[in-house]
Amino acid sequence: MATFDPAFLDAVEALPVRSWQGHVWRHMFNEYAPERINTGGARWNPPGVGAIYTALDRETAIAEGQHAIDVQPRRIFRRRVLYELAVDVDDLVDLTAPEALSAAGLTMADVDADDHSACRKVGGAIAWIGRGGILVPSARHAGANMVILIGPGGEAEIERVSFEVLFDTDNG
């Protein structure tokens, strides 16, 4: 169970929230479904906190996926697929503006860092207070990402709209 400083939790809880409906893009590898929940931890979710990482635009999703490829010591991906998803998320915290990041105790340097601890702390607190997701600046492109939080208080509607195979080594 996570423990947070009460003043930090108060600051995170005071961040404005809103509902969000629209289309997002999710980059997936091999045969993983776009609804697959990450519980192992990443930039915005500590291990044990369920999250689905998406981008608000196609180009940002591709840039995020390309970075995942670029940091691998050897090629481990046979297939690269970009999904367009229709989502409906309640209680979304928007950290895309510099002043919102600052209110959460973060800077773009934290977002860009290879050390994810500062962003994980904020994402973990947002999940802990029961928010549905986080809009965040992308560290890879001039766009934004939506991290949909899955778990207590964080439920979202997600529907596949379309997909595009970016590469598939098994099929040429």
Task: Quote the number of domains for the chain.
Answer: 1
Query: In the numeric block, which tokens belong to residue 154?
Result: 């964080």
The answer to whether residue 1 sits within a structural domain is no
Burial (CB count <10 Å: 0-12, 13-18, 19+), residue 45: buried
Give per-residue pLDDT as tens, 104-133: 999 999 999 999 999 999 999 999 999 999
Q: What is the pLDDT of residue 1?
A: 54
The answer to whether residue 115 sits within a structural domain is yes
**Mean pLDDT (whole number) for 26-42:** 94
Please report which residue ranges of the chain form alpha helices under DSSP H: 6-13, 58-70, 98-103, 108-112, 117-128
The answer to whether residue 67 sits within a structural domain is yes
The answer to whether residue 85 sits within a structural domain is yes
DSSP state of 144: E
Q: What is the pLDDT of residue 156?
A: 86
Domain encompassing residue 46: 6-166
The answer to whether residue 172 sits within a structural domain is no
Q: Tokens 């029961």 appear where?
A: 130
The answer to whether residue 102 sits within a structural domain is yes
The answer to whether residue 28 sits within a structural domain is yes
- As beta bridge partners, residue 122 has none
Phi then psi for residue 44, to 5 deg, are -110, -5
Contacts of 110-117 with C-beta under 8 Å, sequence gap 24+, read: 111/43, 111/136, 111/137, 111/139, 112/139, 116/41, 116/42, 116/43, 116/44
Give per-residue pLDDT as tens, 41-81: 999 999 999 999 999 999 999 999 988 888 888 877 789 99
Instruction: Report percent pLDDT > 90 for the chain.
Output: 80
Name the band, by pLDDT with cuts 50, 70 and 90, for residue 27. very high
